[in-house]
């Protein structure tokens, strides 16, 4: 029998603690339609079922000219996953900034400016979670979590520009676009799930989240507080997703998993690490 395949209310594990993988395989045409994009800035990226940190990923944001803030345009473009703040002396800092805790983005120097003015979403089709099967965490079962109705997910994120000092500022190649995914506390309704989850922006709050004119700390804080807990459908998948060199739709195919039990107790579910 296949592992749990019915829709469940699931809290996602913290992206800081996971391997940092998600799936993004919809075409630009699909994303333009789903998120009302007006302008595609960079070419279509190839689909991926195993997106990893430090890769270029698809992002959606609203941009407006400084002299015409009301003339904002929703763009689909590419950014590097792993935020590199403008003041960073070494772009390698992005390796440590693939996530930002929503509770502290308005105060942490690495994220504060972006939280006020540079918010975006990362469209995704699903996300991978690793379930520890023993106390030491040596054996893990990957799960793929996605919207029960197959709708795309909108990860709340931040972006920044970083200038390469070796190139003139008017050279487009001199600027690195980078991004991070926000996480928040998750309610532990099932009693055996992780205590963090990514912030997923619902359609009703998308315009506000992307609005570059919304810059007040209190407004941003209230917006984050209004984000609902995601409700996702999990399914067990094969361990091949653990290797970033593997890719393809086979990575999200359900697999049969054993009924792991500890000391004759209840079957193990997604557990804390």
CB distance 119 to 61 below 8 Å: yes
Alpha-carbon gap, residue 14 to 191, rounded angstroms = 16
Angstrom CA distances, 138 to 127, 228, 229, 236, stand at 21, 33, 29, 17
How many helices, marked H, and strands, marked E, lie in the chain? 4, 13
Q: Return the active site residues.
A: 19, 129
- Alpha helices by DSSP H, the chain: 28-35, 112-117, 203-210, 217-225
CB distance 141 to 257 below 8 Å: yes
- Helix 203-210 vs helix 217-225: angle between axes, to the nearest 10 degrees? 160
- How many beta carbons lie within 10 A of that of residue 44, not counting itself? 13
Contacts of 25 (CB under 8 A, 6+ apart): 47, 48, 49, 125, 249
CB distance 128 to 142 below 8 Å: yes
192 SS3 class: coil
CB distance 83 to 59 below 8 Å: no
């Amino acid at each position: 029998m296949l592992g749990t395949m019915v829709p469940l209310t699931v809290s996602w594990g913290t992206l800081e603690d996971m391997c940092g993988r998600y799936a993004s395989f919809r075409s630009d045409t699909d994303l333009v339609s789903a998120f009302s994009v007006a302008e595609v800035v960079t070419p279509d990226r190839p689909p991926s079922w195993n997106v990893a940190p430090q890769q270029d990923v698809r992002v959606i944001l609203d941009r407006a000219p400084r002299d015409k803030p009301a003339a904002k345009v929703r763009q689909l473009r590419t950014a590097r996953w792993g935020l590199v703040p403008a003041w960073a002396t070494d772009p390698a800092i992005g390796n440590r900034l693939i996530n930002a805790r929503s509770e502290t983005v308005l105060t942490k120097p690495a994220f504060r400016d972006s939280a006020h003015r540079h918010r975006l979403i990362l469209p995704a089709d699903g996300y991978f979670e690793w379930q520890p099967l023993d106390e030491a965490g040596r054996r893990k079962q990957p799960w793929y979590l996605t919207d029960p109705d197959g709708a795309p997910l909108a990860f709340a994120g931040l972006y920044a520009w970083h200038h390469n000092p070796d190139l003139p500022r008017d050279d487009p190649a001199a600027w690195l676009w980078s991004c991070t995914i926000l996480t928040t506390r998750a309610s532990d309704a099932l009693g055996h799930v992780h205590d963090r989850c990514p912030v997923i922006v619902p359609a009703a709050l998308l315009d506000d989240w992307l609005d570059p004119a919304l810059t007040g700390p209190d407004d941003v804080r209230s917006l984050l507080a209004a984000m609902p807990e995601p409700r996702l459908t999990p399914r067990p998948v094969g361990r091949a997703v653990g290797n970033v060199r593997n890719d393809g739709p086979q990575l999200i195919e359900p697999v049969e998993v054993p009924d792991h039990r500890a000391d004759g107790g209840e079957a193990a579910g997604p557990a804390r690490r």
